[in-house]
Chains A and B, each alone.
Chain A
Amino acid sequence: MGEPLERRAVISGAAQSDVGRRLYRTGIDLTVDAALRAITDAGLTTADIDGVSTYPGFGGSFGGAMGAELHEALRLSLNWRSSGVETAGPLGAVHNAILAVATGVARHVLVFRTVVEGSGGPLRPGSGSGGGGGMSGSAGPFQFMIPYGAASAACWVACYARRHMHDYGTTRTQLGAIAVNGRANAAANPKAIYTEPMTIDDYLAVRMVSEPLCLYDCDVPCDGSTAVVVSHRDYAPDAPAGAVGVNAIGTAIRGRPSWDQFDDLTSMMMRHTAASMWERTELSVDDVDTAQLYDGFSWLTLAWIEAMGFCGKGESGAFVEGGTNIGPDGAVPLNTSGGQLSAGRLHGFGHLHEAVMQLRGTANIGVDDCEVVAVGAGGGPETGSLLLTKGPS
């Protein structure tokens, strides 16, 4: 393989709107805040933005806002616009923007992900809330689970977590290390939802949701928008806040695109996602200075840790136990802004934003000499990843 095309792209700007449990503002309202801040952060104006990309591309509490809404709200003039749910998870919107820039279709793409799940109403089956890979009807995951009361991804992820515990001896105390680590880091994040200290005993005492997942294993719905600007790397020297390089994208969907029919009940699609990312780079897992790995449910983070190769298959429980390895001074500082469990369910884009801050050296809990960050987002069949570097790759 020649130089991977994605290295022609950089992230030149990144910003967030206010983030809160319930802001009672519309998705597009929050999106405009995030977009304008990201564009300014990139040293650009709206006149420079010639592309828009978002996930999933529909409104509602889960969808947040459509690309066309931002297009209209800012009266943008675009060469390219894209959205969709049939991507490698939410980061698919970033992948698409990177490829648009790399191929020259656009030069500065505004990418956003907005959620208003805090004030947008309860999760209801069939309401369009939550994932599902965009599949419905005969091929969809819901038909064979809704009649049994398994209406939430919590039920499905719990089944994987249970099997992981059965096969590898993973314990709830180990799983709890993800939640406790996130809570500790959230204390330094002014936008985090939950910042009160949490101990492993607090975790073990809280009520169950879908065994073995308890309340603190499930992320907190919130309102907020995150935006980044993906630019051609030629622009990097002019990016006032510093440009973050794109070293590799992880996009593979090599297994069955299903929550319930995936071949292995102790891993998910991120196994293929991460493998495809490492196939596109000369860097290795040993080069990663911090990992921002999706924690929509804490078990998903264990699956990401194994998929990325920070430990062997089945070893993630022991790897995170006690929190030393994943703490700010550990081997792999993890979810340094608190993750979704404590900082709010920004659907992977909180992780992306934090990765950019780490590589710029402006994170609230900074990792020393941070040069390479692995970002992974999503669960089930909807997973994508990015390997980002300080400066163009």
Chain B
Amino acid sequence: MSGDSPPRFVLASPESEFYWRSGADGRLRIQRCGDCGRWIHPPGPACPFCHSRRIGPEPVAGTGTVATYTVNHKEWIPGFTPPYVFAFVELDEDPTVRIGTNIVGCEIGEVEIGMRVEVLFEESGEWHVPLFRPAGAREP
């Protein structure tokens, strides 16, 4: 997945739009309950824990751990040139917040479960798509 960016088919909903726009200022945001403080992902209409409606996006550090991943060898969507890594990253603020993403900025063979990663964003039209790279990596 080097060179041109693959097509990022973002289908944002009213609840999730903030997630896909959040990177405009370089920060990742996750929905959080204003009453019980729990993190909520994917974003929903109410806090699933205390049922509060006082919910909204809140910045997170953007760091986490690779919970698991796959290396795709099939071009599931035209433009996603294999091989490429799809991973689930668990955020430091709450490991039950699990984010699907691509791991970039390293060799595919370097990706492993437990790897520390940090967010970066890829602009795609009006969206800022969260990607992750090894923690501490420099801008290319």
Contact = CB atoms under 8 A, between A and B. Distances in A.
Contact of A152 (B14, B68, B76): B76
B68 A162 contact: yes
Interface residues of B, number: 38
Interface string A136-176: 01110011111111111011001110110010000000000
Given A125-B9, A138-B15, A260-B98, A145 B86 contact: yes
Interface stretch (A25-33, A204-212, A306-314, A340-348): A204-212
A210 B70 contact: yes
Nearest to A209: B74
B102 A211 contact: no
Contact of A155 (B10, B12, B70, B101): B70
Nearest to A218: B74
Interface in A260-286: 260-261, 263, 265
B129 A166 contact: no
A10 B106 CA distance: 57
B26 interface: no
B42 A162 contact: no
Could you say which interface size class chain A belongs to? 20 to 34
Given A138-B14, A142-B11, A143-B42, A260 B70 contact: no
Contacts, number: 106
Contact of A261 (B8, B42, B69, B74): B42
Contacts of A159: 68-70, 86-88
B76 A207 contact: no
Most B Cβ at <10 Å: residue of A142, A144, A163: A144
B57 interface: no
Nearest to B14: A138
A155 B68 contact: no
Interface string A88-132: 000000000000000000000000000000000000010000000
Contacts of B135: none
Contacts of A207: 73
A200 to B, nearest CB: 20
Given A125-B9, A138-B13, A149 B42 contact: no
B113 A166 contact: yes
B88 A155 contact: no
A210 B71 contact: yes
Contacts of B9: 125, 146-147
A117 B84 CA distance: 26
Interface string A203-230: 0000111111100000000000000000
24 contacts: A125-B9, A137-B11, A138-B15, A139-B44, A143-B13, A146-B11, A146-B77, A149-B6, A149-B80, A149-B84, A151-B77, A154-B74, A155-B70, A155-B72, A159-B86, A159-B88, A162-B69, A162-B70, A210-B73, A212-B70, A260-B100, A261-B42, A263-B96, A265-B67
B43 interface: yes
B4 to A, nearest CB: 13
B42 A265 contact: no
A56 to B, nearest CB: 21
B72 A162 contact: no
Given A144-B42, A147-B124, A155-B70, 20 more contacts: A125-B77, A143-B10, A143-B16, A147-B8, A148-B86, A148-B101, A149-B72, A149-B76, A149-B102, A158-B70, A159-B86, A162-B113, A163-B68, A208-B71, A208-B73, A210-B74, A210-B86, A211-B72, A260-B98, A261-B41
Contacts of A162: 68-70, 113
